[in-house]
Amino acid sequence: MTASAARSSSAPVLLLTGALGSGKTTLLSRLVDHPALATAVVIVNELGDVVIDQHLVREVDDSTMVLGSGCICCSLRGDLAAELRDLLVRRSRGQLAPFDRVVIETTGVADPGPVIQTLLVDPLLRHRFPLERVVTTVDAVNGLAERDDDEVWLHQVMAADRLIVTKGDVADATAVERAVAQLNPTAGIARATRGVVDPDVLFGGATSYRRVADAVRSVPGHGTAVTSFTVELDERVDWSVFGIWLSMLLRARGNDILRVKGLLDVGGAGPLVLNGVRHVVHGPQHLPEWPVGHDRASQLVFITRRVARDEIEASLRAFLRRYGRASRPSS
């Protein structure tokens, strides 16, 4: 890539989130020396006036920036957008070395939903900083306690494309892995020991599509207020009609539709990939073909709170019968 092309190209964003003390900075400090981050910009969010994490990541330089004294998800959402826009200006003027990736580490009390919304709703940011993946660190020592007591932790887990279980060297990670797999069956799970994890697990959003295909085959149920289930549609779906229904659903119940992810048969050679976090839906992407071993049928994974499968399925089927294509009941 030429220098000119590098200055005008998009830079995928990896959003790194997780509870306080769950190992986000340790993970990031191990990653910054990897070739995948050689030409990356790292944005570290701090809560409070004393900036510490940046110095834990690596020696302060022009490639590490700090959004201080607040949380990205609330008061500093505007600052995040401004910071990203400023990166583009400085890169175009040659004031900043070319970069091809951005990593944003949120503070442990940040709900990733509003951050994701900032990246997906702003037209310029969506084009120049496409959201590649949401990675959430989960503490093997305290994860189960946080599940029961921390609403933000739940949102962090639900938003993840990758769940990295940390501190498995000092505690048995099996129970935590089982718990988060039930909460978010579409996310890949890996372990990090002292922050060490295969970078290929973190980067490259395309592999998440296979994970969607795997997840929709069997979604475990559990007895908490949060539940996950699959809705299957056997016939081709009118995307415009489905999009209207989904928009209406999220407008009415978005706080309780924690995640929706799946593959839709809209009549093309491959499926349309759907990926949403509460009120925000990623731009739909078309795959050139169906994943190997996956029937040509629309399958949607919903992770909800106090919203039953029967409600979702009855609403969707009624709307499709009236305005779009009907489908046979799922088994």
pLDDT in tens, 221-269: 434 567 778 888 888 888 899 999 999 998 888 778 877 888 888 888 8
pLDDT above 80: residue 209? no
Q: pLDDT at position 140, please?
A: 87
| Whole-angstrom distance, CA of residue 163 vs CA of residue 18 | 9
pLDDT above 80: residue 119? yes
Between 115-129, 150-164, 223-237, the lowest mean confidence (pLDDT) is in 223-237
H or E element, residue 119:
helix 112-121
User: What type of residue sits at position 42?
Assistant: V
For residues 109-121, give the mean pLDDT.
Answer: 84
Q: Could you give the 3-state DSSP secondary structure of residue 133?
A: strand
pLDDT above 80: residue 92? yes
Residue among 180, 183, 35, 37 nearest 104 (CA): 37
Q: pLDDT at position 222, please?
A: 37
Which residues, 6+ apart, have CB-to-CB distance to 93 below 8 Å? Answer: none
Q: pLDDT at position 70, please?
A: 55
**What is the percent of the chain where pLDDT is above 70?**
78
Q: How is domain 209-323 classified at the CATH fold level?
A: Hypothetical Protein Yjia; Chain: A;domain 2 (3.30.1220)
**315 vs 260 pLDDT, higher one:** 315
For residues 5-23, give the mean pLDDT.
Answer: 79
Q: Could you give the 3-state DSSP secondary structure of residue 299?
A: strand
- Sketch the domain layout of the chain as residue ranges: 3-205, 209-323
Contact of 259 with 229, CB cutoff 8 Å:
no
Q: Which CATH superfamily is domain 3-205 in?
A: P-loop containing nucleotide triphosphate hydrolases (3.40.50.300)
Q: Could you give the 3-state DSSP secondary structure of residue 7?
A: helix
HEC string of 25-79?
HHHHHHHCCCHHHCCEEEEEECCCCCCCHHHHHCCCCCCEEEECCCCCCCCCHHH
pLDDT above 80: residue 22? yes
- 246-276 in b/e form (b: 16+ CB < 10 A) is beebbeebbebbbbbbbbbbbeeebbbbbbb
pTM summary value: 0.69
Q: pLDDT at position 110, please?
A: 80
Hey, do 3-205 and 209-323 end up sharing a CATH topology, with the first three levels equal?
no
Q: pLDDT at position 24, please?
A: 84
Residue 3 tokens read as 């220098």
